[in-house]
Structures are given as structure tokens and as C-alpha cells.
A and B are shown apart, each in its own frame.
Chain A
Amino acid sequence: MLNSLNAEHLHLLLNHFPTVGYAVGLGLFLVALFQKSSELKQASLVIFIVIALISIPTYLSGNAANFALKEKAELSESMLQAHQDAALLGLIFMELTGLFAWLEIWRIRYVARPMNWNLMVVIVMSLATFGLMARAANIGGELRHPEIRPATESSAWPQTAVMAKAFVIENPWVWPAAEIFHFIGLTMIFGTVLLVNLRLLGIINHVSFDSVYRLLPWGIAGFIINFISGMLFFVAVPDQYTQNSGFARKMVLLVMAAVTMIYPTVFDRLSDLKAEDTAPVQNKVIAGASIALWVAVIFFGRYLPYIGSE
């Protein structure tokens, strides 16, 4: 599915989300803060979350493109590496921005008292992310346009991707530890997903939706654990994953599955479901799809070594 040539294409398509799309979200967010518009603020936070999710396949597709471009002599290897290092740093900040944006939306709905520090974190992180992503995009652009490339390359920035790879490869305990954590995260996510969606489907009943959905932070914690442990696998042997057809499928399904998990944080409707209420039919459909998507994510994760490089 992700063969080398269209990996470049896919990356060129996706890389507009963490840059252009993100700039739109940031603009809205700043306007919302000045106008003190809570609706606009919520909308921009949702944009941050969605773009944080899309940034995951964007980064991964960059590695796939990198694999394809290695053969081409006209591209400077040190610049490819610099782009990748900048992108990984940007990705880390992007995911943190997405996480704190989610926390802010969660707070608005479930925690009555304000947490001013959290909004401050979102402001600082979102601005830093924008700067880092712009830098990654800039180096990326120069890859294809040597005429705008500056004569000297700065090397004061951390070699994030190089260091992450070395960390996993040089410490033999990291991979098994990441495997253990990846399975711990799996149970945290899957347990939460099952219970929340079984409530929507009516199989678990006599309980308000909100009571069950309060488990979500547990599932989000699992997601964080699995993002970190999964990225450790990926940065160590990126080609093993980008050249695997099952991996691309897993990532596409993962983004969709994550959306089905967090959308009730944003929309009011489900929060109105009291203990004896039945969920609307469309939410039941999404609940069924959510379970199926997570099962499919586990399926492709488990099948990775076997459908490998067909």
C-alpha cells in the first residue's frame, strides 16, 4: 500500500496539515483568546487534536519517502537527516500540544474549576510547535529546491531522530521494555474502548454515559504509553515498518479509531445520556465501528511480522 513512490506523494500531501492546517488552528486559537470566545477556543483546540493525530502518519510517511529518496544522489543526505531531526522534534511538541488541548476540552466538560496553568501550557506549546514545524517544513522545502538553500547548515539543533535511534539500538533493554509497555497500553486503551462503547450500545446499562466516559483519561494514558513505545520501535528500524504493508493500514485505522474514542469529549449530545437513556442510533453505529477499528488495529499490529514485506 505504501510503496516507495507514492510514499513521497503521500508525504507531500500530508505535510500540509502540520504546517498550513496547524497555522489556521493557531490563528483561530489566538483570536479566540483575544476575543474571549469560548466556542472559538474549543474549535481551535479540536483542530489541534485532529492535526496532532494526522501528524503521526505525516511523520511516518516522511520516513517512507526518505527510503525512496535514498537512491537519489542529488538529495543531500545530511539535509534529509536534518529535516527528519527537525520533524521529530516538531512531532513531539505537536503531540504535547494535542494532549494539552484535549486536557483543556476535558477540563471544560468534566472539571468545574479552572486550570489556568493548562491553558498557559497550550499557548506556549502551540507557539513552540508552530516554530518547530515551520523549521522542519523549511528544511524539507529546501530538499527539493536547492536554489533557496543557504550556503551553510546550522548544526546547533539536537539530532533528535539520530539520538532516538541510537538510544534504542545501543540499549538492549529498551526494545523488550517497550514491548511490555506497548501491551500494557493496549489493555488500557482496549478496556476503556470496550466499556465506553458497550454503554453506547446498551449492553452495559443503568449508568449515565458520563460516568463511564470518566474512564477516558485511563485510555488516553494508554494511548500516550503506546505512542511513545511505538515510536521507539519505529525510530530504531523505520524501514522495517515503512516497507510493511500492514503498518500503513494499522496507522490509518489507528487515526480513525482514535477519533471514535475522543469525539464524545467534544460533542454535547452523549453527555446528556442519563442512566436509563438509550444512545442515538448513529452513536451506536460509531460505537460498533470503534470496537471494530480497535480490533483491526490490534490485528494489523499482531500480523506485522507475518504479512511483512509481501
Chain B
Amino acid sequence: MLSLLNQIEQSGLATWIHESGSLWGYPLVLFLHTLGFGTLVGINAAIDLRLLGFGAGIPLKSFEKTFRMMWGGFALNAVTGSLLFIADATKHATNPSFYVKLVFVAAGLFTLTRIRKNVFHASGKNESATLRQAKILGAISLGCWLIVITAARLMAYIAEYINA
């Protein structure tokens, strides 16, 4: 496993990202990763707030078009995240914070799909049940992204701690 990670890390692309020193290498990937995250989580958090009852004047359907943008943000981050991973494969693969982040990204995305299905496209039969579920999903979603941000920020510190 470790040798595979080493191989990934030493592949041409990974080495270039990490060691070229080019401003359009590692820093650019990191910036795009932040941009994708800001788009996905920024819009998702606003939707969560709306579900929790803040800004109730915004009709839900006006958020419909933003789902494509959020998935765009995620696609950007799947690509840039993979690039960041291969650049530091051995370091990230041994970092528990990295796995916490991945798990809660998955949970956050799953919650988003539930929000779309159960709230945006609710059958409309039982409004109070939908409203209650919307609040629960909104809170879970905010919680997931909060954990993702925290775990992501702490990765560098935990890596330092492990490798010390």
C-alpha cells in the first residue's frame, strides 16, 4: 500500500504539482479547491439557512438553478482534491483528519441530495412533516460542512503532530 502511494507521489504529474515551484502548479490547484469549496458550501449553507427559517421570503424554487453550480463546485473539487492528494499521497493517506473530511464530504453531499428529493421535490401531501424534515436536513447539512472545514484546516497541524 505504502509503495503504491509512494509511486503515485513520485509520478510525473504529482512531482510537478508539488515541486515545480511554479505559481501555476500547487498554489493554483489550492486556489481552485478553495473556489469550488466556496461555491458548493457557500450556496449549500444559504439553502440550509432558508430551510431553518431564515430568509423565508425566498421561494425554494429560486434555488433550483444553483444545484448545477454546487455540483460544478464539487466536480472542480473532486479533480483538484485528487491532484492535491497525489502530490502528498503518503502524508494524506496516514492523516486521520483527511478521512474525517472525506467521510463528512460524502455525508454533506448525501444530505444535499436528500434536501433536493425530500424538500425541493416533496410530494406536497404532508406539509408540516416536510417542514420538519427540511429543518432537520438543514441542520445536518450545516453540521457536516462545519466538520469538513474544521477537519480540512486541521490536516496540516495533525500531519505535523503525527510526523513529529
Contact residues in A for B27 (Cβ distance below 8 Å): 302-303, 305-307
The tally of residues in B whose CB lies under 8 Å from a CB in A reads 36
A305 to B, closest residue via Cβ: B27
Known contacts A191-B43, A194-B43, A207 near B62 by CB under 8 Å: yes
Q: Are B59 and A211 in contact (CB under 8 A)?
A: yes
Across-interface contacts of B30 in A (CB, < 8 A): 302
Shortest beta-carbon distance, B30 to chain A, in Å? 6
Within 8 A of A (CB), among B119-164: 145-146, 149-150, 152-154, 157
Q: Which of B26, B35, B54 contacts A218, CB < 8 Å?
A: B54
**Neighbouring A residues of B65 by C-beta, 8 Å:** 198, 203-204
- Closest chain-A Cβ to B51's Cβ sits at a distance in Å of 13
If over half of A's interface residues share one DSSP class (helix, strand or loop), that class is named, otherwise mixed; here it is: helix
Find A214's partner among B34, B57, B146, B150 (CB 8 Å cutoff).
B57
What residues of chain A lie closer than 8 Å to B145, measured between beta carbons? 187
Q: Would you call the interface of chain B mostly helix, strand, loop, or mixed?
A: helix
Interchain CA distance A218-B154 in the complex, whole Å: 25
Q: Which of A193, A204, A208, A214 contacts B66 (CB 8 A)?
A: A204
Q: Does B115 contact A (CB under 8 A)?
A: no
Contact indicator per residue, chain B 37-68, by CB within 8 Å of chain A (1) or not (0): 11101111110010000110111011101100
CA distance A35 to B45 in the complex (A): 43
Chain A stretch 176-220: residues in CB contact (< 8 A) with chain B: 176, 179-180, 183-184, 186-195, 198-199, 203-208, 210-212, 214-215, 218
Number of chain A interface residues as a range: 35 or more
Flag whether A24 is at the interface (Cβ < 8 A). no
**Considering the chains assembled together, what is the distance between the CA atoms of A287 and B55 in angstroms?**
21
A214 touching B58, Cβ below 8 Å: yes
Told that A191-B43, A195-B66, A307-B23 touch, could you supply 9 new A-B pairs with CB distance under 8 A? A176-B153, A176-B157, A180-B149, A187-B42, A190-B38, A198-B66, A211-B62, A215-B58, A302-B34
Residues of B at the A interface (CB closer than 8 Å) are 23, 26-27, 30-31, 34-35, 37-39, 41-46, 49, 54-55, 57-59, 61-63, 65-66, 69, 145-146, 149-150, 152-154, 157
10 example contacts (A-B, Cβ-Cβ < 8 A) are as follows A180-B149, A180-B154, A183-B153, A184-B146, A184-B149, A193-B42, A203-B65, A215-B58, A218-B49, A307-B27
